[in-house]
Every structure is written in C-alpha cells, then in structure tokens.
Amino acid sequence: MLKSFTRNHEDNSTEAGFQFTFYCDRCSNGHRSAFIESKSHKKNAAIRGFGQGVMALTNLFGDKLNDIGLSVGRGADIISERFNGMTAEWQKEHEAAFEAAQREAVAHFHRCEGCRRWVCDADFNEVEGLCVECSPRENVAVTMAKAQAMQRNLDEAANEQTVWSGKLESKTTTCPSCCKPCGSGKFCSNCGAALAAGKCPACKADLPDGSRFCPECGHKI
C-alpha cells in the first residue's frame, strides 16, 4: 500500500503512466506531480500493434500468414488481459513513480513542528517555522484584530443611535375622508371622521372602505 507523507493524496495513474496529487493537511490545496510514462505499457502497446498488423496482412494475403497472425494476435490479447489486472512490472513502476512523485512534491510543503502536519506555502509561517494555525503571521493577525475592533466600534455606535421613536401600531388603516393613516380607533386620528363601516342601502351588508358596489348583492353605491 502506498503511504504518502501528507495525510491525504490522490492517485491519478492509468495504464499509460503515473501521476499523483498531494494535498495540504490544513487547507486541502494540492500539488500534482509530473506525468511519468509507463515503460511496460509502451512496450506492450507496440507488441499489440504488431499483432494487429499481422492480422491485417493475413486478411490481405490469405492463409499463408494465418498461423503467424493467430499466434501473435493471441499474444496481444493475453497482454491486454494482463493490463486489466495491472502486471507485476507495472506495479513495480507504479511504486517507483510514487516515490519519485513524493520527492518532487515535498518541496512544495512544510512540516509544522507544532502540530506535525504537512502544509502548503500559503499555510506556513516561515519566520516561526510553524503552520499559520499554530502561529498566525503577525501582519495578518494585526490586520484581523483591527478589522474586528472596527466592527465592534461600528456595532456599538449603531446601538447608540435612535432610528425611530414612534409607537408601532398593529395595523395601518387609511381614512376614507383625508386619505391619511387613521389608527385603529372608531374615528380618524387625523381628521376625526367616523371610521365605522358603511351599510349597503339594499341588503344592509357591511361595505369595505372605498366600495363602489356591494360585495354581497352587487348594488351600486
């Protein structure tokens, strides 16, 4: 089993070659290694191509090459099947490529002496030799402290300001006489007009303010 120097990595390898991504233990930013071509895959691809070529010649020139074409063709099929399960030769290449990829990637990471995690350049305090979680950068810490203090000052100033000192009413009703808010009483608080609902002269049903027709009988008001 491949063991990475970081706590997590991703294997991007295929039959054709090998590539790995190593991630920062703190922020999960990653570094992807250079692609390394599989020599065994390239070699066996040439054998498969030769087998397919012989089979094509067999179709063109008849039975003389038939025996050769079948034997080489079967060999190509066997190699293809071996690739499906990854050959021992490929596995050896895979392990060697992983070690090479780690040597390449480790240059982009730093080990924190405080928490022992491997972190990327962005999460490492070069001055203290620690990750920024164990030892935040001074300029960043000062800037954040200033921003937090400013926000506290703004919040305190906002709390001291009186935005509105009026009394909230449960609902707002418009007076049909003066067309201004009239409160919730029986008379308009602005002009004194009665706010009682009118009655339909035909069916005596209550009429909503501003009605032109009775909602019950349709009588024109």
Rounded distance between C-alpha atoms, residue 7 and residue 135, angstroms: 20
Q: Does one domain contain both 117 and 180?
A: no
- Of the two residues 198 and 114, the one the predictor is more confident about is 114
Quick check: is 140 in a domain?
no
Mean pLDDT of the chain: 76
Q: Does one domain contain both 98 and 198?
A: no
Task: Provide the residue type at 79 as one letter.
Answer: I
pLDDT of residue 127 exceeding 60, the answer is: yes
Locate 76 and state its tokens: 């190509």
- Cβ-in-10-Å burial (0-12, 13-18, 19+) of 90 comes to buried
pLDDT of residue 50 exceeding 70, the answer is: no
Quick check: is 2 in a domain?
no
Q: Does one domain contain both 48 and 116?
A: yes
- pTM of the predicted model as reported, rounded to 2 decimal places: 0.47
The pLDDT-based confidence of 48 (bands split at 50, 70, 90) is low
Domain count, the chain: 2
Quick check: is 178 in a domain?
yes
CA 182 to chain centroid: 53
**Residue holding tokens 């305090």?**
125
Q: Where are the beta strands (DSSP E) in the chain?
A: 9-11, 17-18, 20-23, 30-32, 36-37, 109-111, 118-120, 124-125, 130-131, 198-199, 206-207
Q: Does one domain contain both 30 and 85?
A: yes
Provide the residue range defining the domain that includes 71: 9-131
Q: Does one domain contain both 116 and 26?
A: yes
**Residue holding tokens 């070699």?**
43
Quick check: is 56 in a domain?
yes
pLDDT of residue 142 exceeding 90, the answer is: no
Q: Does one domain contain both 126 and 179?
A: no
Contact partners, residue 134, CB within 8 Å, separation at least 6 = 112, 114, 115, 125, 128
Domain-ending residue, one of 131, 157, 190: 131
Domain-ending residue, one of 131, 148, 182: 131
Task: Provide the residue type at 82 as one letter.
Answer: R
Rounded distance between C-alpha atoms, residue 73 and residue 57, angstroms: 12
Q: Does one domain contain both 124 and 182?
A: no
| pLDDT at site 124 | 94
| pLDDT at site 1 | 59
| pLDDT at site 145 | 78
